[in-house]
Amino acid sequence: MAEEREKLVQVRHLVQTFNPGKKSEVRAIQDVSFDIYRGETLGLVGESGSGKTTTGRAIIRLYKPTSGEILFDGNDIAGLHNGSKQMKEFRREMQMIFQDPYASLNPRMKVKDIIAEGIDIHHLAKDDADRDAQVANLLQLVGLNPDHATRYPHEFSGGQRQRIGIARALAVQPQFIIADEPISALDVSIQAQVVNLLKNIQEQRNLTYLFIAHDLSMVKYISDRIAVMHYGRIVELSTADEVYNHPLHPYTQSLLSAIPIPDPEKQKNA
Amino acid sequence: MADYKITADSFKPAHIAKEQQEKLGTDNMTFMQDALRRLRHNKMAMISLWIIIAFIVISVLSIWISPSNPNTQHLKWNNLPPKIANWSIPGFRGYGVSAGEKVNVYAQNNVPKNVWFVLGTDSLGRDIFSRILVGTRVSLFIAFMATLFDLTIGVVYGLISGWKGGMVDTVLQRIIEIISSIPNLVVAILMLLVFKPGLTSIIIAIGFTGWVTMARLVRAQTLQIKDQEYVLAARTLGESSVKIAMKHLIPNLSSTIIIQTMFTIPTAIFFEAFLSYIGIGIPSPTASLGTLLSDGQKNFRFLPYQMVYPAIVISVLMISFNLLADGLRDAFDPRTTR
């Protein structure tokens, strides 16, 4: 069924090596290939240091990939140069939600200016009134009070900050969003709130997600398919149910066994 | 308390509207307002601030209003002690000690009744008060220039070095190490080979070496900030490097920059005074706190006022800048205090 759908992102033999040829050489990603279909959510799981975040940052071109291809909507974006026209267009199409809501908002900027940063860069607002209206809409979309636009980030809670980060990513109307562990720094009670918000927005705006996390249970909830990463390689990639119920790779099995079961009887027998 | 009854109504869930839940109760305060509020609570820093403001106002006003020309010599009225009008203020009566006896120096030198010098005169009969005003002005001008170099060369150099990283950073840091390994005094003396001694050569010497600490601090902070997620977010939005520096780096570096500037100023003031004191700074007849100290020091045992007053001025000026810098550091960085 998935084969019929359009491939939005195609990653081909992606390799990311830091400090190549030096003593401190790190091979973060070693020959990774996968596709992301339009409208789906691909979950990317793995332990700390397995290269999940690096993969996300390489796809959104925060890093320059050492080799390999990244096709976005049919165009190779792995070789784009910063400041080029294609790069600027690409920046509008793909956005990122970050892990730490306390570090991802500039403490010296008003919420209004944080959210409108992308609007300013890509000249998406006709005038100041239009800009304010867009910001108010985005705030409402993520469930925040538009009156908060003139506040500074330190006045908000972790969950509220994360929602401001989501509003910032949505401001440039992207097609594809990379969520880099967006819930791992939040309280359990807020996690579900943010994940449900992401799901609702996906339906409303027909977005495609790459959802990076280390918590398999939450990833299963939001993802259509799951890729499991280990030491810079993808060891398993299948539908969420398949990975969850019939794990093939021993590493996936060990990841699944690490999920705590909220039932003492089952936990004992497992 | 006895008549207070607990009914079932007391346990009804409180109704809070959805908008109320997200409401923020605190005042809308910017980072700068918050820092200034903390600064105002610091008494020493505020006193220092007002002293510095007073120094600046007085020394600027003295361009137009001065008790007498600081370079005019009255050879008959040399070495007069301090005297304010005909008031009887201890230390300002115009009396001096000559051969173990207290004498009215003004009367001895046949100074007219209506002529008096607030802080006395030097060995060439020049008004010391006017000369101190000129010297303070020179010191503050040096402070201004040092700030200018710190804010232009230092900040930009540090930003480029930290932001670019890699080879650029390595080369820029080696240059800084070379510059900082040459003592300031050597640079100042080498300047005298090319330029005439004076304000220009001192300013060029400060411009050559004074910004190094600022560049290093800004670089270190930039390295820290550039991996923060809000900078990454700006990059994924397609913000240019210059804009990121202006919108994200400099506002978050502002406390470091302000604090370091306040510590640079007293260093620069002292550097100028020191050069003038050893005779390679401001040339005569222009006054500077350094030359006043060096002139006064020759007669210190007999005419102490010639050295004491310039010494007080430079000490107060430097202590004020240092205390204000401490206060600003506490205000901008509340976590690091005590």
* Rounded Cα–Cα distance for residues B215 and B163 (Å): 12
Interface with B, mutate which of A64, A108, A151, A164 (most B CBs under 10 A): A108
pLDDT in tens, B55-110: 999 989 988 887 778 888 888 888 888 877 777 777 777 777 776 777 787 877 77
* Rounded Cα–Cα distance for residues A100 and B233 (Å): 12
- For residue B325, the domain's CATH number is 1.10.3720.10
Residue B203 pLDDT greater than 50, yes or no: yes
The verdict on a CB contact (< 8 Å) between A108 and B252 is yes
By C-alpha distance, which of B276, B289, B290, B266 is closest to B192? B276
Residues on chain A touching B19 (C-beta within 8 angstroms): 145
* Rounded Cα–Cα distance for residues A217 and A256 (Å): 8
Question: Other C-beta atoms within 10 Å of A230: how many?
Answer: 19
* Rounded Cα–Cα distance for residues B74 and B96 (Å): 18
Overall pTM surpassing 0.95 (yes/no): no
Query: Would you call B239 an interface residue with chain A, using a CB distance cutoff of 8 Å?
Result: yes
Range of the domain at B230: 38-69+124-336
Number of domains in chain B: 2
Asked if residue B208 lies in contact with residue B148, where contact means CB atoms within 8 angstroms, the answer is no
pLDDT in tens, A48-74: 888 899 999 999 998 889 999 999 988
Instruction: State whether B164 and B191 are in the same domain.
Output: yes
Predicted confidence band of residue B187 (pLDDT cuts 50, 70, 90):
confident
Q: Tell me if the domain spanning A2-269 has CATH number 2.60.320.10.
A: no
* Chain A interface, Cβ < 8 Å to B: 57, 60, 62, 83, 87-88, 91-92, 94-96, 98-100, 103-109, 114, 117-118, 121-122, 143-145, 148, 150-152, 155-156, 160, 165, 168, 172
Asked, for residue B17, whether it belongs to a domain, the answer is no
Q: Complex ipTM above 0.90?
A: no
CA A154 to chain centre: 23
Asked, for residue B74, whether it belongs to a domain, the answer is no
* Ordered DSSP codes for A168-220: HHHTT--SEEEEESTTTTS-HHHHHHHHHHHHHHHHHHT-EEEEE-S-HHHHH
Q: Measured between CB atoms, which of A91, A100, A155 is closest to B24? A: A155
Asked, for residue B63, whether it belongs to a domain, the answer is yes
Predicted confidence band of residue B26 (pLDDT cuts 50, 70, 90):
low
The whole-chain average pLDDT of chain A stands at 88
Residue B184 pLDDT greater than 90, yes or no: no
pLDDT in tens, A177-222: 999 988 888 888 888 889 999 999 999 999 999 999 887 888 888 9
pLDDT in tens, A7-55: 899 999 999 998 888 888 888 999 999 999 999 999 999 888 888 999 9
Instruction: State whether B158 and B194 are in the same domain.
Output: yes
pLDDT at A1: 45
Residue B331 pLDDT greater than 90, yes or no: no
Distance from the B31 Cα atom to the nearest Cα atom in chain A, whole angstroms? 7
Crossing angle of helices B199-209 and B166-181, rounded to 10°: 140
* Rounded Cα–Cα distance for residues B269 and B264 (Å): 9
In chain B, count H helices and then E strands.
Answer: 15, 2
Predicted confidence band of residue B47 (pLDDT cuts 50, 70, 90):
very high
Interface with A, mutate which of B226, B236, B240 (most A CBs under 10 A): B236
Predicted confidence band of residue B330 (pLDDT cuts 50, 70, 90):
confident
For A164-177, what is the mean pLDDT?
93
The verdict on a CB contact (< 8 Å) between B230 and A108 is no
Residue A2 pLDDT greater than 70, yes or no: no
Asked, for residue B130, whether it belongs to a domain, the answer is yes
Asked if residue A232 lies in contact with residue A30, where contact means CB atoms within 8 angstroms, the answer is yes
The verdict on a CB contact (< 8 Å) between B230 and A103 is yes
Share of chain A above pLDDT 70, in %: 98
Query: Would you call B8 an interface residue with chain A, using a CB distance cutoff of 8 Å?
Result: no
In chain A, count H helices and then E strands.
Answer: 11, 10
Question: Other C-beta atoms within 10 Å of A82: how many?
Answer: 13
* The pair of three-digit structure tokens given for residue A250, joined into one six-digit string: 């021993």
For B162-178, what is the mean pLDDT?
93
Asked, for residue B291, whether it belongs to a domain, the answer is yes
> DSSP assignment, residue A95?
E
The whole-chain average pLDDT of chain B stands at 85
Q: What is the dihedral angle through the alpha carbons of A198, A201, A203, A206, rounded to the nearest 10 degrees? A: -110
Instruction: State whether B144 and B96 are in the same domain.
Output: no
pLDDT in tens, B234-262: 999 988 889 999 889 998 888 889 889 98
Residues on chain B touching A108 (C-beta within 8 angstroms): 31, 251-252, 254
Residue B215 pLDDT greater than 90, yes or no: yes
